[in-house]
């Protein structure tokens, strides 16, 4: 599913103009991104949390030059789904 698919489904379900829904979805995503960039987590009860995770410093390998490199500690965005979300996927999506 793409962002356009989400916009189309919400527009059909609520009877709103696609342009208005598009603006709302874009604004939501910008707010989540902005919050994470400033170090604030976003909690959506029953859905999940967008959080900032810290990765520790580690040693990696550059295979083409056969050398070791130091990868500094850094933060990454992550999503942690709520329990009800996980359970819904477990029970409703068939294992392939």
Low-confidence ranges of the chain (pLDDT < 50): none
Instruction: Find the DSSP H helices in 1-96.
Output: 3-14, 18-37, 83-92
pLDDT one-digit tens code per residue, 4-31: 999 999 999 999 999 999 999 999 999 9
What pLDDT score was predicted for residue 96? 84
User: Which residues have a Cβ under 8 Å from the Cβ of 80 and sit 6 or more positions away?
Assistant: 48, 49, 51
Q: pTM of the entire structure? A: 0.80
Tokens of 10: 């919400």
């Amino acid at each position: 599913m793409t962002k356009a698919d989400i916009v189309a489904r919400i527009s059909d379900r609520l009877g709103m103009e696609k342009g208005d829904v598009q603006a709302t979805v874009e604004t939501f995503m910008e707010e989540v991104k902005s919050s994470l960039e400033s170090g604030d987590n976003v909690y959506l009860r029953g859905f999940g949390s967008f959080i900032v995770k810290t990765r520790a410093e580690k040693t990696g390998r550059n295979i083409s030059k056969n050398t070791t490199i130091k990868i500094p500690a850094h933060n990454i965005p992550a999503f942690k789904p709520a329990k009800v979300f996980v359970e819904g996927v477990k029970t409703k999506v068939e294992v392939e």
